[in-house]
Each structure stands twice: as structure tokens, then as C-alpha cells.
Amino acid sequence: MKKLLLSFLLASPVLLFAQGSQVNTQGIKALGMAGAGSALFVDESSIFYNPGALVKMDHNAISAGASAVMYRSAFKEVNSTQQYDTKFQITPPFSVFATFGPKDTWWKAGLGVYTPFGGAVDWGQDWPGKYELNHLQMRAIYIQPTLSFKITDNFSVGGGFVYNLGFVDLSRSLPTFDANGNPGRAELSGVGTGTGYNVGVHYNLENEFAISLSYRSKVVTKLKDGDAKFTVPDALAASFPTTTFEAELPLPASFNIGVSFPISERLDIAADGTFIGYDIYKSLTFDYKDNTPTLEDTYQPKKYQKAFSGKIGLNYKASDKLALRTGAGYVASPVSAQYVYAETPDNNRVMASLGFTYMLSDKFDLTGAYTFQRILERTVTNAVTGLNGTFKTNIHAPGISLTYKW
Amino acid sequence: MKRFQKNIKLYIGLVACALATSCAPEIDNAKPNENTGSSKPDFSKYIAIGNSLTAGFADGGLYLEGQQLAFPVLIAEKMKAHGGGEFKSPFFIESQSNGSGYIRLKALVNGQPVTEPVTDKLAVRGLSPNNTPLYTKYTEEVNNLGVPGMRLDMTEIQGLGTVKGNPYFERLLTEQAAMTSYRAFATSKNHTFFSFSLGNNDALGYATNGGVQKPDGTSTLTDINTFSNNLTNFITDLTTNGRKGVIATIPDVSAVPFLTTVTRQALLQAATTASQAQGGPAVTALFIATKAGARPATDKDMFVLPFASSGLLGKPNDQKIPYGLHPNNPIESQYVLDEAEVAEVKTRIDEYNKKILEVAKSRDLAVADIHAFLNKVKNGYVYNGIVISNKYITGNVFSLDGVHLTPMGYAIMANIFIDAINAKYGTQLDKVDAMQYRGVKMP
């Protein structure tokens, strides 16, 4: 008798560094203005926001910041009243920026270590989309040495080389059932690397109007020798060997325009617009080292669109020691409705922020910020997995940084 | 400021608490359906009338796990929030939880499933005069009236509930009530709402026996007049005083793995492999017995699942003619639903469904279109990230017997009933999360 072929569709594990995971908390000052301020803030965080502005610093500084991103998603299947929430957890993006070089000259050097992409969602193993995703944790750490030069007193340029370390860890349930009726599980984890660059120009008219243009290249991160582990019934163990996998993740390029100008002696306004080239993210392929008839390489379409975000913020100098900030922004999602996955249940989002900087002394500044983002509710039917329901997400992200100046 | 410092722990605690709980997003429930014009049904006493599917039969047997996850049980659970009362099933007790016994997967040998019977913890209380098992009685009032093997052409028969009749019906009746017909039994429960899913066996029994009608009446292809009369009588009784319910259509038999798994191509390949192992030629033709005599099989003929493991194919008879490979020793009719029989069954099922829709319309009942659903399964589709199809074992919804469903399959079936009830009556019964239920268990 011919074998009855046992083929278990191993739908592609999901994995991406998407808009949904992107909460820009690299500079806590900008965070206080919902991400605006690339033209306004000329300090060590310019290494990230605009390397071109770095040389305009009149001192050197080192700052260390961290934020607590709380990404809280909820899902409800269509025609169900049962809501499933992601587990409460905190992702701690961090950033360290340091500048070097003589003061008041035509060049400055800097080094930034920061996390431009990162996030964590844990839906658990008991929700309707468990065969799509249990949990996903990921982080990209960019290490960026930077140089910045003055062309004229008002016009400066800069650039940095980006080396990326990407970490990923995800799991999903498999539709194989053991003697107790429990489903199987696939767990994948890996580390990848990639390179890119970050360049920018900054122009200011005296101390009034400033404009910032910057471009961050895409960073194609290659995961090699990631670990793939499967928990399946004994009868299927040979079909799901513990193996390794390769995958490629393109982190998108972005182009940013920022402007700022004073409204009054104490109040500045800043606005930023960012175009993000998410359309490079077309699909995701997983290449398993050991293939079996049941464990084949997987391909999953993503079909991202270009995305845009607009942010506007106010910076109020309340006293010589205290600055207060607020801001708001809007992000147009790169994810089409039929390609929304549980990993980052994305949609257009609105955000609002508050922040402050307090000068503890001549040497030390303390900066804090709080941002709230709402990914708007969206009811989708995924074209690949068929998951049909409503996603809604709130993101809370308080952040704090300490700067030492000399 | 001092006071602030004094209370700082409290503030931090409050903030942490707020972040951990209240900041989670809330998704509103869907708005109620527009008024459909029908009056709201009363779910306070729901009864389920039907056959093995209603009873929760799976893996070739009726056992406690299947009973507990039968689709009416899942529906009744969702009715509770909408005025539904207690829903009782004739559960086997824990020490007899394997009920009638069933089959489980023992191993995969070269990818080929090997099953074995489960024979412990049975609920067999003795043998009938026909030497068939009788099961431990359960004569308390129940809401799940699903009886494996129940056919629409048997609903009027008095005596079906005796030891010589259907053992699953017999176990529900007291000695005194043994002569009650199934219709009389099911319509005397003072129900307020019902689900009705009968008629599958009137065609499936015939189809799974290869189009051969056995003398015991379990594989008769019921004629449309009997079907119509019994259906109308039953539904008339169930709907007196304007009582509401939902009625299921009958799936196409060619959708079940019992008939789709063993194909002519697969058999030819197996026969060729066996032949070539002994230095013989490739096998290019199979022969089947039909009502019009023996003929070569085509890809339109369907073979029953048990034929794969029967060991018959190629076995020489007394004249040394290999079984199934020669017109003088064809594959017997009970193993094959030949093309003409497939068409015959299809046509009959279409007639049944036409009648079901007609009756449902005249009584203003909801219709759970299981026929349409099984056609969708036949083509295969992706549901919440996994494949749902009629592939044996890997299709996730059919149990090991290739006819009855897995818990996941029954959960999806419950949702079809729920959707039909909601659509008809404007109710808001919650959907069952079918992903919480298993497919086929593996060793």
C-alpha cells in the first residue's frame, strides 16, 4: 500500500522588524516631543537624528538613556466576545551617545549605540492565532561611529557607519497533537548582522530657523545558523529534526526632514516628517538547513508599502534649569490589511508625548519623557493564515536619560 | 513636597498597577444584528436531535471525550449567556470512559498510519441476541439525543430501542419504554429550541458500504418519499406552538476521507511495487465488481478506507487469480463506490437537501449548511494559520475513521450552527474558538 503522505503545512514562521515594533526612543528629548526635534536639538543624540548637526555642539557629552516600552495588544475574533491580550511585559530599548573632539572647531566625532527597532509580543499558547504566533521578541542594536564637519558656520554635514546586531526569538504552535491532545511547537532563535549608514545635513539661520535633512540607509540583516527546535509527537520526530535556519531581514531606509523655529523667547516649535522605505519588505523566506518532506523552506508574503510619519512638538524653557516639552504625531502604516500578522498588528497610529529636561548641575542633565501611542483598531482577514478578527494596540513608553557634559 | 516623598511608594504602586491593568486596550463587541423579523428564540431547554455527529462519535467509536466535545455541547455552552439552561448528555462514566471502544494511531510506519483498537474501560454491559455489544444504560433525562447510526427512515420504527435494535438508542430507554419510536422519544422532552441533524446515514450508510444494501437496513439508500414523510412528521412535532430550531443539510459523501483517501492511482502503485518486488511487471489496471458486472476501475470510482489495510489486493484465489487485478476476481462491490453509485448518491443527497430547505423555509427555521461547509473542506482552506481539508489525519477535522470529526472539526461545525442561529434569529451567540480543540492525536 502506498504511503499516505503525512504533510503538515508548516506555515512560515512570522518574523519582521516592522513599524509596529518601531517606537523611536533613541533620544529622550525628542521622545518628549513625539519624535520631532531633529532640527532643534543639537546635542549628542544628533548622532542618531542627524549626524550633520553634531559638529554644532559647543561641548562634549556622553548620555545614557533607557525607556520602558509597554506594547499592549488585544485581539478579538470576528463574532466572538472573547478578547485575548498580549502578556504584560516591558521591552527596554536603550541608547548611549558619546562625542569626542576639540571644541569650537570644524569637526567632531561621536559614537552611538542604540536600538532603532525592537519589540516583544507574547500572545501565549491559548489564543485563536496560536498557529500563527505564540511569542516574538526581537531587537536590532545599531553601533554607529560618526564624523561631522562644518562647511560654514551655519551649514554642516555628517555621516556614520552602521553595524547592526539583530536578535530574534519566536515560537508558534504546530497542528500536531500528542497523546494528550496538546499541539506541537516550533521555537526559532538567532542572531544576525548587517551594515548600513546614516548621513545628514543641518542648516540654521542664526539661532532662529533650523532645518535638518537626514537619510538612514536600509540595513539588510542576515541571520545565519539560527536555532530551530520542534516539539512534536514521537511519531513525527524524524520529520521535524532540530536544525538551523537562515533568513534575511531588510530593515528599511528612511528619509527625514525636520524644521524648527522660535515662537517666542522661551518657546520653540519643531516638526519632522519621515518617509520610510518599507516597500523593500516584500516577503520573508526561511531556509532550513535540514529539509524533510514535512519541513520545507517557507515563504511568506509581506508586501509592505511605503510609510510616512509626521510629528510636531513644543519646547518651553520654563527656567534656566528646566525645559518642558509636549508633542503629537501620526504614522501611516506600511502594512496592508490583508497582511497584518499578530507579530506586529499594525495600523495607522496616533501618538502624544510629554517630557522635560532638568539641569542638575553644570555637568549633569536629567531628561525624562512619556509617550503614549495608539495603534488604531483594525478588523482584518489575513490573506495567508485566514485569521479573521480585530486588533487594537496601546503603547506606553516612559523614558529617562542622564547626560554628562564637559 | 515632604508629603509627596512620604507617599512616593504609593504613587509608584498606583502607576504600576494602572500600567499593568487599565492601559490594555478594549475592543468593543460587534453590534447586534439588524432585526430579522423573527421572534427571539427561547434557549432555556435546548435539545439536539441527530445521529453519530450529534452524539460526538469519533475514531470509529463513541467515547467520553467525544461526547464531552460534541457540537451540541459546545453550542449549549454558548447559549448559557443568552438564557440557555443546563444541557445534559448521556455520558459514559469515568471508569467506562472508552465507551464502545475506538481506534487510535499506534505508529507511523514509513509515513503510513497504523491504527489499533482501544479495548479497555469499555461500557459494554453484555451482548444482544444478535451477538452485538450492548452498552451501559443511561436513562435519565438528557438534552443530547444524538444516537449513532440513527437514520431518518428509522425514526418511526417501534422496537428500534430494544436489544435487537440500535444499541445507542437502547441505552437511553428504560425497559418499559423500549418500544418507543425515536420520533416519539425525541419530541416528548418539552423543549424550547432544537437542532436537527438527521439524514446523513440515509445516504452515507449506502456509500460507505460501497453501494451494497445490507439486510439489516443500515446501508439502505432511503427513498425520497420516506425521507420527506419522516422529516415532515418530525419537524411538525418539534415546531408545535411556534418553537424554533436549526436544521442541518447533508454533506456530499465524496467529501469524506473514508472515500477519498484510497485512490485508484495509490492502489496501482502499491500493486506495482508488490509485483516488481517479485520480478513481475507493472500493474496498469484494477478490476471492480459493479451492478453491471466486472469492469476496469477508473479514477472516478471511490474505494473505502478499510480496503487499504484489508490485505486483499493481489491476493490469489483458488484459481491463482490475483484479487482485483483480473476481471474474474474483481474487487468486491462493498469496497467500491463506483462512478454510477457516486452519481446515484449525489443525486439523492441533492433531493434530500432540497426537501430539508423546503421544510426549513415553511417552518421559518435556521439552516446550518453542513453540505456547503464540507464542500469547502473538500477543496481545503487555511483557518487561523492551519490547513483544514479532507486529507486523512493531516486535514485536522476528520477523525481516524475518516467519516466523523475531530474535536476541532466538531468545534467548527458548532460555529456553523451558531452562525445560522444568529443569522436567522438575530441572536448573538458567541463563536467557539475552534483552535482550542485538537485534531488527530499521535503517539
Is there a contact between B382 and A384 if contact means CB atoms under 8 Å apart? yes
Q: Single out the residue of A52, A2, A89 nearest to residue A395, CA to CA.
A: A89
- Residue A127 to residue B331: CA distance in whole angstroms: 48
Query: Cα A291 to the chain's mean position, in Å?
Result: 32
Which one of B79, B390, B394 would you mutate to disrupt binding with A, by most A Cβ within 10 Å of its Cβ?
B394
Please compute the mean of the pLDDT values over residues B191-196 and round it to a whole number: 98
**What pLDDT is stored for residue A238 in this prediction?**
84
Residues of A within 8 A of B27 (CB-CB) are 74-76, 83, 377, 390, 392
**H or E, element range at A110:** strand A107-122
Q: Single out the residue of A76, A187, A190 nearest to residue A135, CA to CA.
A: A187
Is there a contact between B25 and A393 if contact means CB atoms under 8 Å apart? yes
Residues of chain A with pLDDT under 70: 1-23, 284, 293-294, 296, 298-300
Q: Among A79, A131, A232, select the one facing B384 at the smallest CB separation.
A: A131
Could you tell me if A371 lies within 8 Å of chain B, comparing CB atoms? no
In the predicted model, is pLDDT for residue B146 greater than 60?
yes
Q: Single out the residue of A34, A14, A67 nearest to residue A340, CA to CA.
A: A14
Q: What is the DSSP string of B30-64?
A: PPPPPP-SSPPP--TTEEEEESHHHHT-BTTB--H
**What pLDDT is stored for residue A139 in this prediction?**
84
Residue B31 — pLDDT band, cuts 50, 70, 90? Answer: low
Please compute the mean of the pLDDT values over residues B282-300 and round it to a whole number: 93
CA of B63: how far to CAs of A45, A299, B11, in Å? 67, 41, 56
Is there a contact between A1 and B431 if contact means CB atoms under 8 Å apart? no
What is the pairing mode between strands B287-290 and A107-122? unpaired
Is there a contact between A75 and B27 if contact means CB atoms under 8 Å apart? yes
Residues of B within 8 A of A371 (CB-CB) are none
B396 neighbors B254 (Cβ within 8 angstroms): no
Strands (E), A123-218: 135-150, 155-177, 183-205, 209-216
**What pLDDT is stored for residue B359 in this prediction?**
97
Q: Single out the residue of B235, B246, B247 nearest to residue B41, CA to CA.
A: B246
Helix (H, G, I), strand (E, B) or coil at B264: helix
Is there a contact between B27 and A178 if contact means CB atoms under 8 Å apart? no
H helices present in B59-159, as ranges: 64-68, 71-79
Tens digits of per-residue pLDDT, B76-126?
999 999 999 999 999 999 999 999 999 999 998 877 889 999 999 999 999
Q: Single out the residue of B256, B268, B267 nearest to residue B375, CA to CA.
A: B256
**Helix, strand, coil percentages in chain B from 3-state DSSP, rounded to 5:** 40, 15, 45
Residue B335 — pLDDT band, cuts 50, 70, 90? Answer: very high
Is there a contact between B111 and A181 if contact means CB atoms under 8 Å apart? no
**What pLDDT is stored for residue B3 in this prediction?**
55
B377 neighbors B389 (Cβ within 8 angstroms): yes
Is there a contact between A385 and B384 if contact means CB atoms under 8 Å apart? yes
Residue holding cell 496592508?
A336
Strand-pair partners of A197: A161
Single-letter residue type at B227: F
- Residue A354 to residue A308: CA distance in whole angstroms: 22
In the predicted model, is pLDDT for residue B141 greater than 80?
yes
Is there a contact between A132 and B385 if contact means CB atoms under 8 Å apart? yes
Is there a contact between A6 and B440 if contact means CB atoms under 8 Å apart? no
Is there a contact between A128 and B443 if contact means CB atoms under 8 Å apart? no
Residues of A within 8 A of B382 (CB-CB) are 9, 11, 384-386
Residue B16 — pLDDT band, cuts 50, 70, 90? Answer: low
Q: Among A3, A8, A79, select the one facing B112 at the smallest CB separation.
A: A3
H helices present in B292-439, as ranges: 339-363, 370-379, 407-425
For chain A, the first-to-last Cα distance in angstroms comes to 82
Could you tell me if A378 lies within 8 Å of chain B, comparing CB atoms? no
Could you tell me if A393 lies within 8 Å of chain B, comparing CB atoms? yes
Residues of B within 8 A of A379 (CB-CB) are none
B76 neighbors B84 (Cβ within 8 angstroms): yes
- Residue B267 to residue B282: CA distance in whole angstroms: 12
Q: How far is B152 from chain A (nearest CA, A)?
A: 33
- Residue B30 to residue A388: CA distance in whole angstroms: 13
Residues of A within 8 A of B19 (CB-CB) are 70, 88, 396
**What pLDDT is stored for residue B1 in this prediction?**
46
- ipTM for the predicted complex: 0.87
Helix and strand numbers (H, E) in chain B are 14, 14
Which one of B105, B115, B386, B437 would you mutate to disrupt binding with A, by most A Cβ within 10 Å of its Cβ?
B386
- Residue B56 to residue B147: CA distance in whole angstroms: 9
**What pLDDT is stored for residue A9 in this prediction?**
38
**What pLDDT is stored for residue A3 in this prediction?**
33
Please compute the mean of the pLDDT values over residues B17-44 and round it to a whole number: 68
Phi first, then psi: give them for residue B199, nearest 5 degrees: 115, -20
CA of A7: which chain B residue's CA is closest?
A: B394
Residues of B within 8 A of A129 (CB-CB) are 384-385, 435
Residue holding cell 509617550?
A371
Could you tell me if A78 lies within 8 Å of chain B, comparing CB atoms? yes
Q: Among A85, A175, A234, select the one facing B443 at the smallest CB separation.
A: A234
**What pLDDT is stored for residue A90 in this prediction?**
85
Which one of A177, A232, A294 would you mutate to disrupt binding with B, by most B Cβ within 10 Å of its Cβ?
A177
What is the pairing mode between strands B366-368 and B244-248? parallel
B397 neighbors B411 (Cβ within 8 angstroms): no
Is there a contact between B433 and A80 if contact means CB atoms under 8 Å apart? yes
Query: Cα B359 to the chain's mean position, in Å?
Result: 22
Is there a contact between A129 and B407 if contact means CB atoms under 8 Å apart? no
Is there a contact between B438 and A183 if contact means CB atoms under 8 Å apart? yes
